[in-house]
Amino acid sequence: MKRTLILLSIMLMAIATVAQPPARIRQQAKSSDAADRTAPAVPVVKTTASTAVKKSASAATPATSSRAALEFPTQGAMPEDVAWRRDVYKVLDLSSDRNAVLYFPEEPTGDKMNLFTYLFKLVMRKQVKAYEYTIDGNENLTAKNVMQPKEMLTRFEINYETNDEGKIRVDNSDIPSSQVKSYYIKESTYYDQNTAQFHTQVTALCPVRKGIDEFGEEEAPTPLFWLDYAEISPYLAKIVLMNSNYNNAAQISADDYFTTNQYDGKIYKTVNLQGRVLQNYCETDSALKAEQTRIEKEITTLQDHVWGKDSSKVKKDTLQAELADDVKAEAKKSYKRRKDEKVSESNSSRAQVKRERTTGNASSQPRFSARRQRH
């Protein structure tokens, strides 16, 4: 009897479980029909195969600059709320030994190329933006100042070819990399109160072209375009430069070269209220050099003022300084004590000799001569 009851209960449970899904399906169908009747009509958009491919490609491919920044992280941007900042413009002469690493090789050889060739290719591929060099010489890194590649080639008379698809191609021999013999950079030295540290950071870069005219003489320097260093720094981390004339195996990335300030730059302009360059009020070369030295000294003087008169001799720990002072004081006391003991000792010996002389003890003692007597 018990077995029969158990079997009947199991059968009833199975029937209930099997019958429940159709009931739910019918209930969901009724609710969906009601929702369709109450919902507003949605227009149907036909999607072609080409648009579907474009959408999928745009959704799957991230921005090139974002990907480069993730693969090659660089130094952080300068905070906007810094307590102190000094902006200067410097010129890097590539004939200098410290800057020659940016010039060679003049033309690409294999996978080796100089800095301008690398930057030029990035601009032509629209991986980075080139900003027009305005008449005031200041960088204007805004969207309205961006130069288009074809416009840039036409302005600077660089030969190029256009294929049937409208793509621009520039041969390596037509890239004026050998004529770019200097760079303008904007350098910012700032004090970050959050970390209590001074930093010197390059914020903008401008290649300067100096070609040869039809008479064989050098033309005046022509600044080409400004580049935002924060935008190009992930790409500069990819290019490797030779860093030594004596050790050809020593290499450094272009980003590390600028981040560690290994370049040799001369100040030609500062950010000032009048917007003047140094040559506007420095009439001679000696006056220009003196003004450059004065500006550099202003920056270092502020750092010395923050860290002390001589930052290399600043004591690292207050407790260590106190211990050093205690040791010096104890050494002075010990030296004075030994000196006093010697003085008292000598005074006592003199007093004893004086007493012996007065009492006659000294005269009663026999005297011996160290001279050898002859027999």
Q: Cβ(282)–Cβ(295) under 8 Å?
A: no
Which of 280, 259, 257, 258 minimizes the C-alpha distance to 268?
A: 280
- Please tell me whether residue 369 adopts helix, strand or coil conformation: coil
Cα–Cα distance measured from residue 138 to residue 271, given in angstroms and rounded to the nearest whole number: 9
> What is the H or E stretch that residue 76 is in?
none
Bridge pairing between strands 240-242 and 251-253: antiparallel
Reported as a single tens digit per residue, the pLDDT across 261-308 is 999 999 999 998 888 899 899 999 999 999 999 999 999 888 887 776
Is residue 118 a contact partner of residue 250, using CB atoms and an 8 Å limit? Answer: no
Backbone angles phi, psi at 358, to 5 degrees: -70, -35
Strand-pair partners of 267: 90
- Average pLDDT of the segment spanning 62-81: 63
Helix (H) or strand (E) holding 182: strand 180-192
More confident residue, 277 or 22: 277
3-state DSSP call for residue 102?
helix
- pLDDT bin (cut points 50, 70, 90) of residue 325 is low
Model pLDDT for residues 226-251, shown as the tens digit of each residue:
999 999 999 999 999 888 888 888 88
Q: Is 115 helix (H, G, I), strand (E, B) or coil?
A: helix
The residues, any chain, with a CB within 8 Å of residue 127's CB and separated by 6 or more, are 64, 65, 68, 235
Residue 314 has pLDDT above 70, yes or no: no
Instruction: For the chain, give the longest Cα–Cα distance.
Output: 157
Looking up tokens 């906007």 gives: 80
Q: Is the pLDDT of residue 15 over 70?
A: no
Question: What is the pTM (predicted TM-score) of this model?
Answer: 0.65
Contact 119, 207 (CB under 8 A): yes
